[in-house]
Amino acid sequence: MAYPPIAVANTLILRHAASGGITHMRIQTLCYLLYGWSIPILGRPLLTEAPEVWTKGPIFGRLYSQLSHHGDAPILQPVAIKPSDTDYPVIPEEDRISHELIEGVDERHSGLSGTSLEALALGPNSPWRRVVEEHSFMLSDPVEIPQAVIAHHFTAQARQVSLIQ
């Protein structure tokens, strides 16, 4: 099943709450990586929305508006969709496959600084970079990164590390 980015973000927030929280931009980058890795591993995107090309990197626009007020401060509490809501969306515990994917991607990148994570997402062969270059670095509005571009990139990476054949 695919989930809205806020549900994936809240799942990450809960994973990191006891260890001091997680920043908005780290959530954005991990959501992007989860979107990408889920395609070759699960055969479909984990998130219901595709990342967009923003100057800061691959961003989920709605998630950005939901979390941007945190600035660079670590987020310790899950976020409701509307401020008046008393509950918040998360990935259900019974969806073990999605939780295992989140845990694996999160742990694989846990030792990387924000700068290193950013370099990974914006690197020369990244889907973000490919779309930016196709538009000659002249994007005035966010542009969705095509799923085919993300799938090609992450499937190639999954083959390199023998996750798939």
Q: What pLDDT, in 10s, does the model give residues 93-122?
A: 999 999 999 999 999 999 899 889 888 899
Question: Considering the entire predicted model, what is its pTM?
Answer: 0.94
Q: What is the mean pLDDT of the chain?
A: 93
Which amino acid is present at 158? Answer: A
Q: What pLDDT, in 10s, does the model give residues 71-97?
A: 999 999 999 887 777 789 999 999 999
DSSP string computed for 44-95: S-SBSS--EEETTEEE-HHHHHHHGGGTTSPB-S---SSTT-S------TT-
Which helix or strand (DSSP H or E) is residue 143 part of?
A: strand 143-144
